[in-house]
């Protein structure tokens, strides 16, 4: 993976901060193709998170809880 891809992943995941975030956002402003790709990745990430969100609200099945308790 290239440094660009590493930064893109970090930006999508919200892991850039400070100077790295500022520099990357400047690149997004200057490069329409990179901006479009970043926005597509972010949209895809949010959609995937949304698919699993309801699962986190469900209680654990009793058999799983019992197995964990031994």
Residue range 21-50, pLDDT digits in tens: 999 999 999 999 999 999 999 999 999 888
Here the tokens at position 19 are 């100077």
Residue range 7-17, pLDDT digits in tens: 999 999 999 99
Helix 32-57 to helix 3-12 angle (10° resolution) is 40
Taking the model in full, what pTM does it have?
0.66
pLDDT at 1 over 60: no
Given pLDDT bands bounded at 50, 70 and 90, which one contains residue 3? low
Amino acid 58: pLDDT: 82
Q: Give the helix ranges, DSSP H, for 1-70.
A: 3-12, 18-30, 32-57, 62-69
* Domain range summary for the chain, segments of one domain joined by +: 3-69
CA distance 39 to 42: 5
Residues contacting residue 35 through CB under 8 Å, at least 6 positions apart: 28, 29
């Amino acid at each position: 993976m290239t440094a660009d891809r590493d930064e893109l992943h970090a930006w999508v995941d919200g892991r850039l901060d400070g100077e790295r975030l500022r520099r990357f956002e400047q690149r997004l402003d200057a490069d329409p193709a990179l901006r479009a790709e970043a926005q597509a990745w972010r949209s895809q990430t949010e959609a995937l998170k949304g698919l699993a969100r309801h699962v986190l609200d469900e209680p654990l099945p009793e058999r799983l809880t019992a197995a964990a308790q031994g």
